[in-house]
Amino acid sequence: MKPLLRAVLVIDALLLLAFGLLFLLTPWTSLYNALQLVQVDPTLVGQAFGLALLGLAWLAFHAAIDGAMTRAVARVVGHVNWLTGVLMLVWLVGLHKPSLTAFGQLVSAVVALVLVIIGLGGVRLAGVVRRRERARVAEVAAAGREQKRIGKETANTRQADRELNRGVDSEPRVYGTEQATATSRSVSPATGLPTEPSFTAGHQPGSATVETRTTETARDEARDAAADTPGAPRPPFHG
């Protein structure tokens, strides 16, 4: 839409240039009579108005080239054009002042309508360009916030990874005998506490022989006590 708005600005600049030159030539009476226009009186007012229109024409040309000025200048020039066209229609068609010939009134009415159409078109296009620029700025800002959020999450993730690696490196490590002792300990199912390792036959090789001899001695003593008891059956006598 901005290229179209620049084209409208070029048209505005050409119209403003034409009217500015026409008012600047206010002292040229024969020209006004040939165009069937009303002579501006005093001449100073016509020439001053012509200079103002030339300044607006230069501003419109410059805004058509400079993209930073396009929207603002198009809006201002558009409002000036359509208000001027409405004013011309009110005086020429409604009040019939100044008195012009039929051809002069037709030309003035056509010029007024052209000014109204071009002015309102320029204002509308300026509004569309403004909304699109705001939407583009909002998208850029949203993309920047999203990028910042992603960067923050990435930094937090890296920080968490560093803290996790630092915690793993700081844990004590068990080597050799301490590791074997730690693995040999079991947990008691009643208390849930680690118990001391029991020394079985695998830990003490001579413990099995001592236990066997103790069991045989206890059995012999029990047999002798039963034999000495009165009324107890005695074992048969062998040889």
Query: What are 194's two structure tokens?
Result: 């680690």
Residue ranges of the domains in the chain?
A: 2-149
Least confident of 45-49, 130-134, 221-225: 221-225
Q: Please state the rounded mean pLDDT for residues 131-150.
A: 85
Residue listed under structure tokens 């949203």: 142
Contact between 75 and 133 under an 8 Å Cβ cutoff? The reply is no
pLDDT, residue 237, reads 46
pLDDT, residue 58, reads 93
Share of the chain above pLDDT 90, in %: 9
The total of other beta-carbon atoms located within 10 Å of residue 80's CB is 17
pLDDT, residue 212, reads 58
**Residue-wise pLDDT tens digits, 37-95:** 777 878 888 889 889 999 999 999 998 888 888 888 989 999 999 998 899 888 887 77
Least confident of 85-94, 125-134, 173-182: 173-182
- How many whole angstroms separate alpha carbon 107 and alpha carbon 122? 22
End-to-end Cα, the chain, rounded Å: 133
Query: What are 80's two structure tokens?
Result: 């000036």
Q: What is the pTM of this model?
A: 0.57
Task: Please provide the size of the chain in residues.
Answer: 239
pLDDT, residue 231, reads 55
Q: Please state the rounded mean pLDDT for residues 93-99.
A: 75
**Residue-wise pLDDT tens digits, 22-39:** 988 888 888 878 877 777
Residue 234, phi then psi, degrees to nearest 5: -100, 155
Contact between 50 and 21 under an 8 Å Cβ cutoff? The reply is yes
pLDDT greater than 50 at residue 201: no
